[in-house]
């Protein structure tokens, strides 16, 4: 599969996931904010996971960037030149470079944000105040937070910040010593809930999803909804932990009021107060009818199982669909450069069971539609030319392939007996005479009854032609066993017509040294239209 094709199918899958998440959110308007936060988190994480599943569950064959590939020839084999036109279509050949530049730019932006917050942390001081330490231990016990949390102070921030996943840090502004006991509890509750829920990790994954899908408007819309529900669900959790809504809203407003316009927001960290979302959060806090229930753990596990059950088949289904190419076409030439009409071109799939056969037209051209991607053995036959056989021709999915073939003339073998006069040489005696079983006597099978296939009238009217390749075994009684169609690009109605006729055929059995034996046969039924 080409890189462009993989990118386009990945964008399509992302669109399906985001649209499904939006549909689910529309049905959860009256649910708790934690439920909507859970859905947006799963959707944004799925954007990163689905391409990895597509690659791991269905390996992608990368398209070569060379425009011409010379296929190796076996010794004594007819010469052939195979040209693979693997250059992307002019409309899409700029997609990959543009996407990579955009993704790299947004990834660098994310990395710079983490660099700035880490540089800020190096200039902070550890808080070792006994009252703060005791309050943090009390809040952690109340929430069931078992990971150690480090408290630090910085004069470069106006609001509390949380950063880190494995070693979480809560950064307090320089004026934290003037806070009341109530504000201290509010701040530590809010930041500890972020740490317990791994919100820093999910925020990073959401940012990476937007960097990968920077051109997708639904990804940015999902990111905005994700941030909104993340903070509002955290506010709800603080209220559920025992904090009164009006008191909590008052502290939020006061913290946001202290924000300095000269201070830049650090997106790599989770900030407790933000003027842009303050009004919406306060309105939600003071809503008496708001559902603030936290997600049930069993419900989360069930929802995750359902999401995995939908995402994995989506990745596999799309990867399998991408294994097919639109067309494989080309022209058969002779060594003088003239076209060769009525040549038979056979594709045998090395990795699968399908075989596809076509004939060249009056202009020497052939075309196979919807040929499965993979490694093929190619065989070309034409009257008067050497049979061409080539193994290991790789056909990639995503874009049409162009295979032009050039055939050499066939070799001619003559045998002449020169007879002279003279005494015959005496036979060599090997002792006592012995009975020798002479074999190698093969009497080939003969077709004794043939029911002629009927060309479907509707396909004639539609101008549909094709060759049906059938495989069977001629039994010792002369009937066909295991008759099946081995090519998939032919019209199903033609295959059905050929099967209904050929299964009535009868043969004389093949005799090997006078005894009937079973032999395999391949039957080609050509449906052609004449003017």
Which residue, of 288, 315, 342, is where some domain finishes?
Answer: 315
What is the token pair recorded at 397? 């999915």
pLDDT digits (tens, 9 = 90+) for 354-371: 788 888 988 889 888 777
Q: Is the pLDDT of residue 477 over 50?
A: yes
Q: Is the pLDDT of residue 506 over 80?
A: yes
Q: What average pLDDT score do residues 305-318 get?
A: 72
The answer to whether residue 471 sits within a structural domain is: yes
- Which whole-number Å values give the CA distances from 426 to 26, 423, 433, in the listed order? 102, 9, 16
What is the token pair recorded at 475? 């039994």
pLDDT of residue 397: 65
CATH number of the domain that residue 496 is part of: 3.30.2420.10
DSSP character string of 225-290: HHHHHHHHHHHHHHHHTT--HHHHHHHHHHHHHT--TTSPP-TTSEES--HHHHHHHHHHHT-TT-
pLDDT of residue 58: 55
Which residue, of 257, 291, 315, is where some domain finishes?
Answer: 315
pLDDT of residue 437: 41
Q: What is the mean pLDDT of the chain?
A: 79
How is the beta sheet containing 510-512 ordered, strand by strand? Answer: 442-443, 510-512, 515-517
pLDDT over 90 percentage in the chain: 26
Residues 72, 53, single domain; the answer is no
**8 Å CB contact between 206 and 41:** yes
Q: Is the pLDDT of residue 80 over 70?
A: no
Residue 307 binned pLDDT confidence (cut-offs 50, 70, 90): confident
pLDDT of residue 66: 33
What is the token pair recorded at 28? 């959860």
SS3 125: strand
Q: Any idea what DSSP says for residue 75?
A: T
Residues 221, 270, single domain; the answer is yes
Q: What average pLDDT score do residues 503-515 get?
A: 82
Q: What share of the chain is helix, strand, coil (3-state, %, to 5)?
A: 40, 20, 40
Residues 298, 207, single domain; the answer is yes
Which residue's entry shows tokens 């942390």? 121
Residues 282, 181, single domain; the answer is yes
pLDDT of residue 318: 52
The answer to whether residue 79 sits within a structural domain is: yes
Residues 52, 72, single domain; the answer is no
**8 Å CB contact between 406 and 378:** no
Least confident of 133-142, 222-231, 336-345, 399-408: 399-408
Residues 134, 276, single domain; the answer is yes
524 CB-side CA count, 13 A: 12
pLDDT digits (tens, 9 = 90+) for 229-238: 999 999 999 9
Residues 389, 265, single domain; the answer is no
Number of domains in the chain: 3
pLDDT digits (tens, 9 = 90+) for 384-427: 788 888 887 777 765 677 888 888 866 544 443 444 444 555 55
pLDDT digits (tens, 9 = 90+) for 260-302: 654 556 678 888 877 778 788 888 888 888 888 877 777 777 7
The answer to whether residue 173 sits within a structural domain is: yes
The answer to whether residue 141 sits within a structural domain is: yes
Residues 174, 274, single domain; the answer is yes
What is the token pair recorded at 350? 């090395």
DSSP H or E run through 525? strand 519-527
How far is 23 from 414, CA to CA, in rounded Å?
77
The answer to whether residue 430 sits within a structural domain is: no
pLDDT digits (tens, 9 = 90+) for 96-123: 888 899 999 999 999 999 999 999 999 9
Residues 111, 174, single domain; the answer is yes
CATH number of the domain that residue 362 is part of: 2.60.40.1120
Q: What average pLDDT score do residues 484-501 get?
A: 88
Which residue, of 268, 297, 315, is where some domain finishes?
Answer: 315
pLDDT digits (tens, 9 = 90+) for 193-223: 999 999 999 999 999 999 999 999 999 999 9
Domain hosting 88: range is 63-92+324-415
Residues 303, 170, single domain; the answer is yes
pLDDT of residue 195: 94
Residues 99, 138, single domain; the answer is yes
The answer to whether residue 174 sits within a structural domain is: yes
The answer to whether residue 277 sits within a structural domain is: yes
Least confident of 44-58, 67-81, 239-253, 471-485: 67-81
More confident: 352 or 524: 524
Residue 134 binned pLDDT confidence (cut-offs 50, 70, 90): very high
The answer to whether residue 473 sits within a structural domain is: yes
Residue 85 neighbours by CB distance under 10 Å: 15
Residues 350, 460, single domain; the answer is no
């Amino acid at each position: 599969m080409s890189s462009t094709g993989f990118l386009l199918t990945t964008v399509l899958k992302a669109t399906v996931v985001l649209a499904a998440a939006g549909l689910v959110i529309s049905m959860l308007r009256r649910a708790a904010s934690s439920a909507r936060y859970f859905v947006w988190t799963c959707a944004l994480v799925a954007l990163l996971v689905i391409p990895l599943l597509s690659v791991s569950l269905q390996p992608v064959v990368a398209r070569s960037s060379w425009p011409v590939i010379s296929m190796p020839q076996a010794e004594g084999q007819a010469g052939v030149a195979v040209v693979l036109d693997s250059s992307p279509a002019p409309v899409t050949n700029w997609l990959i470079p543009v996407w990579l530049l955009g993704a790299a730019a947004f990834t660098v932006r994310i990395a710079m944000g983490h660099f700035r917050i880490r540089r800020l942390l190096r200039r902070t001081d550890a808080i070792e105040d006994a009252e703060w330490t005791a309050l943090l231990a009390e809040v952690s016990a109340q929430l069931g937070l078992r990971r150690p949390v480090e408290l630090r102070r910085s004069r470069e921030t106006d609001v509390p910040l949380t950063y880190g996943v494995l070693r979480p840090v809560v950064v307090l502004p320089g004026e934290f010593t003037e806070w009341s006991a109530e504000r201290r509890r509010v701040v530590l509750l809010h930041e500890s809930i972020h740490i317990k829920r791994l919100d820093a990790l999910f925020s990073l994954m959401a940012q990476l999803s937007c960097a990968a899908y920077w051109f997708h408007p639904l990804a940015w819309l999902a990111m905005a909804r994700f941030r909104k529900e993340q903070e509002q669900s955290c506010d709800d959790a603080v209220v559920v932990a025992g904090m009164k809504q009006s008191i909590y809203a008052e502290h939020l407003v006061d913290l946001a009021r202290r924000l300095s316009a000269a201070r830049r927001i650090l997106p790599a960290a989770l900030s407790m107060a933000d003027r842009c979302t303050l009004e919406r959060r306060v309105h939600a806090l003071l809503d008496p009818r708001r559902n603030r229930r936290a997600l049930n753990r069993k419900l989360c596990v069930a929802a995750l199982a359902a999401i995995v059950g939908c995402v994995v088949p989506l990745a596999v289904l799309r990867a399998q669909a991408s294994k097919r190419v639109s067309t494989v076409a080309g022209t058969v030439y002779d060594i003088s450069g003239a076209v060769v009409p009525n040549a038979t071109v056979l594709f045998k799939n090395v990795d699968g069971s399908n075989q596809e056969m076509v004939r060249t037209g009056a202009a020497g051209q052939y075309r196979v539609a919807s040929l499965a991607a993979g490694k093929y053995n190619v065989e070309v036959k034409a009257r008067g030319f050497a049979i061409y056989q080539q193994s290991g021709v790789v056909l990639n999915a995503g874009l049409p392939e162009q295979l032009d073939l050039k055939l050499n003339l066939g070799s001619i073998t003559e045998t002449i007996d020169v007879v002279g006069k003279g005494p015959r040489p005496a036979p060599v005696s090997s002792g006592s005479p012995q009975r020798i079983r002479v074999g190698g006597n093969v009497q080939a099978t003969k077709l004794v009854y043939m029911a002629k296939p009927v060309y479907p009238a509707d396909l004639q009217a539609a101008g549909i032609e094709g060759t049906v390749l059938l495989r069977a075994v001629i039994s010792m009684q002369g009937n066909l066993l295991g008759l099946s169609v081995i090519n998939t690009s032919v019209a199903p109605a033609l295959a059905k017509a050929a099967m209904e006729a050929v299964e009535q055929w009868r043969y004389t059995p093949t005799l090997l040294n006078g005894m009937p034996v079973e032999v395999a046969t391949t039957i080609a039924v050509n449906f052609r239209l004449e003017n």
